[in-house]
Amino acid sequence: MKSDKIKFLVFCLIVLAAPVPLSQGYLTNVLVFVGINSMLALGLNLLLGYAGQISLGQAAFFGLGAYGSGVLTTHFAMNPWLAMVLVALCVALFAFAIGFPVLRLKGHYLAMATLGVGVIAHIAFNETVDLTGGPSGLSGIPNLSVGSFTFDSDIKNYYLVWSFALVVILLSLNMVNSRFGRGLRAIHDSEVAARVMGVNARLMKVQVFTLSALISALAGSLYCHVMTFISPTSFGFNISIELLTMVVIGGLGSVYGSILGALLLTLLPELLRAFQDYDIVFYGLLLVSMTIYLPGGLVRGIPALFRRVMPARSGHA
Amino acid sequence: MLKLTGIGKRFGGLTALQGISFNVGKGTITGIIGPNGAGKTTLFNIATGIYPPSEGAVLLDGVDISALPPERRARLGLVRTFQNIELFGKMTVLENVMVGLHTQSSCGLFSCSFRMPWQMSEERRIREKALQWLEFTGITELADVVAGTLSFGKGRLLEIARAMALEPKLLLMDEPAAGLNSRETAELADLIKKIRDLGVTVGLVEHDMDLVMDICDALVVLNLGTMLAEGTPREIQDNPAVVTAYLGEE
């Protein structure tokens, strides 16, 4: 318990201090997106890593959050904070409603159904041209502001996004180490046994699905205000897959693993830019070797690797 | 306590159970025996709501629970263990038992995420009670071990501790002695008697005849999906039909 708190405090300090050596450079901008992706990956990990229920439609909730906030603040000139809350609630309600029929499915069927949700949402973003601007996107979205203070630079957005991310991380850490989190993990390990123990598996699955959609919608709202321009390509199927990859690489069923996965997969394309068109090869190689050699993800793989190396060293000495 | 009336179950064209009616008396240990394929586990699955019966009804304390899902039956005090132990393999032993206390706690998604003060005290209470049940089954020292790494015998004890954490009125055990050596089986017999002495009614499916004859107050014999006999262990041992069908012809 105590070590968990210390871990979180250290993590907070790292997040606070990270932009200092970067002095408002390009990397600060990248770290803003690491924050957004961390929220998205964490939302998916609660569903997939803890409750064991897959979703290939996370981009839909992300997009609904972004377009919800974008449309309300441009077409209807609504207060962005109010819009953010309203949109998050509506997306959560939507997820709750579709959760009951969708989460009756298991395995591949659940994957297909959530994939369907993602595809339908993507089509809707493209086709409702009057509202969303269709394929050419929605522009002129205002930055978030408090009084006369506007979040209009990378560094301001960094602290904005990460304060949201840190709250979500803290609440998730609390949740997974509690009665609710134990129920989710029990469902993951053996749904029949969990139900026999009195765990209402159907309801809990829908609740965590709703939570994951809510977090994704919040990330979407932040994204649209940070970018001030959004288009459907940011909310397509490939984004859902990228989120899945973050969760798997970082570590299924690990809160910090989600952040590590988000960090790596957001930085990777930037680092691989030097290889130009060949970056996809490195990306693929990394994925393959990760799943073969570190199936537990980085958060479990690195300590395991460390333990394997350390005794060998002391043996030679 | 538990009353089955005219239970029948068909899987497609196959009749697995037909016309099963008996009572499990309050405070007793009732054994359900029969050769392989007699339908014992199917009967258990119907009693605990894993699947519904094709016909007949399951009554707990006079209330028809035939249509209730397993989680609702658990709240009414009907709990089971599994033949091939179904533990939460990636969770620790203590956490497994804490899941067993799910029905006796109430904190939901919101109070868990925000660590409300009452959530903290409930969590402490759950932890203490779970430790008591580990002590009851004698596996306290394994509290922080990951359940998936336990031996079969210890896993069985954990499954019993987890089921007992629900403080059931009726505990159904599906072949609790399967895979145990003779010393472990003897310990299991003592544990089951200890559970009965707590006022819990026990129903068990079992192949180990010595165990059944030792601890059961009443027996129900199934054969090919139908009831063959019902009575005390002594009556069953002397029943010629049972001897022929189950214990073998002389």
Task: Kindly write down the DSSP assignment for every residue of B195-223, as one continuous string.
Answer: HHHTT-EEEEE---HHHHHHH-SEEEEEE
* Averaged pLDDT, B93-106: 96
In a domain, A293, yes or no: no
User: Kind of pairing, strands B170-174 and B201-205?
Assistant: parallel
- In three-state form (DSSP H/G/I as H, E/B as E, the rest C), the secondary structure along A154-172 is HHHHHHHHHHHHHHHHHHH
Q: Rounded distance, CA B238 to CA A11, Å?
A: 72
Distances in Å between the Cα of B178 and the Cα atoms of B152, B210, B248 are: 9, 13, 21
| pLDDT per position as a tens digit, A262-276 | 999 998 887 777 776
**Would the pLDDT of A315 be above 50?**
no
- Tokens for B180? 């145990």
**Would the pLDDT of A189 be above 70?**
yes
| pLDDT per position as a tens digit, A6-39 | 999 999 999 999 888 876 678 899 999 999 999 9
Q: What pLDDT does B246 receive?
A: 66
Chain A hits for B102, Cβ within 8 Å: 179, 182-183, 197-199
Q: What is A220-274 written as a DSSP string?
A: HHHHHHHHSEE-GGGGSHHHHHHHHHHHHHH-TT-HHHHHHHHHHHHHHHHHGGG
B90 to A174: CB separation less than 8 angstroms, yes or no: no
> Residue B48, CB half-sphere, CA atoms under 13 Å: how many?
29
In a domain, A313, yes or no: no
What sign does the dihedral B88-B91-B97-B100 (CA atoms) show?
negative
> Residue A11, CB half-sphere, CA atoms under 13 Å: how many?
19
**B98 → closest Cβ in A182, A207, A208:** A182
Distances in Å between the Cα of B27 and the Cα atoms of A89, B20, B61, B133 are: 51, 21, 13, 20
In a domain, A263, yes or no: no
In a domain, A260, yes or no: no
In a domain, A213, yes or no: yes
Residues from B contacting A (CB-CB < 8 Å) are 48, 50, 69-71, 74-75, 79-80, 82, 86-91, 95, 98-100, 102-103, 105, 107-109, 112-115, 119, 122-123, 126, 162-163, 166
Minimum CA–CA partner of A198 in chain B:
B71
Chain A hits for B119, Cβ within 8 Å: 178-179
What are the residue ranges of helices labelled H in A106-147?
107-127, 129-132
**A195 → closest Cβ in B71, B112, B126:** B71
Chain A hits for B90, Cβ within 8 Å: 185, 188-189, 253
A188–chain B Cβ distance below 8 A for any pair: yes
Q: What pLDDT does A83 receive?
A: 97
Closest Cα in chain B, distance from residue A1 (Å)? 12
Domains of chain A: total:
1
Contacts of A76 (CB under 8 A, 6+ apart): none
A196–chain B Cβ distance below 8 A for any pair: yes
Q: Rounded distance, CA B136 to CA A306, Å?
A: 39
Q: Are B35 and B92 in contact (CB under 8 A)?
A: no
| pLDDT per position as a tens digit, B187-222 | 999 999 999 999 999 999 998 888 999 999 999 999
Closest Cα in chain A, distance from residue B114 (Å)? 6
Confidence of residue B250 (pLDDT cuts 50, 70, 90): low
In a domain, A120, yes or no: yes
| pLDDT per position as a tens digit, A83-109 | 999 999 999 999 999 999 999 999 999
What does chain A come to in residues? 317
Q: What pLDDT does A159 receive?
A: 95
In a domain, A171, yes or no: yes
User: Kind of pairing, strands B2-11 and B55-60?
Assistant: antiparallel
User: What are the structural domains, with CATH classification, of chain B?
Assistant: 2-247 (3.40.50.300)
In a domain, A261, yes or no: no
Q: Rounded distance, CA A189 to CA A225, Å?
A: 39
Closest Cα in chain A, distance from residue B242 (Å)? 32
User: ipTM of this model?
Assistant: 0.92
Minimum CA–CA partner of B148 in chain A:
A189
Range of the domain at A138: 2-237
- Tokens for A7? 């871990």
* Averaged pLDDT, B85-99: 96
Q: What pLDDT does B164 receive?
A: 97
Q: Rounded distance, CA A217 to CA A164, Å?
A: 12
Cα of first residue to Cα of last residue in chain A, in angstroms, is 36
Task: Spell out a b/e string for A158-188, using b for 16 or more CB atoms within 10 Å of the CB, else e.
Answer: bebbbebbbebbbbbbbbbbbbbbbbbbbbb
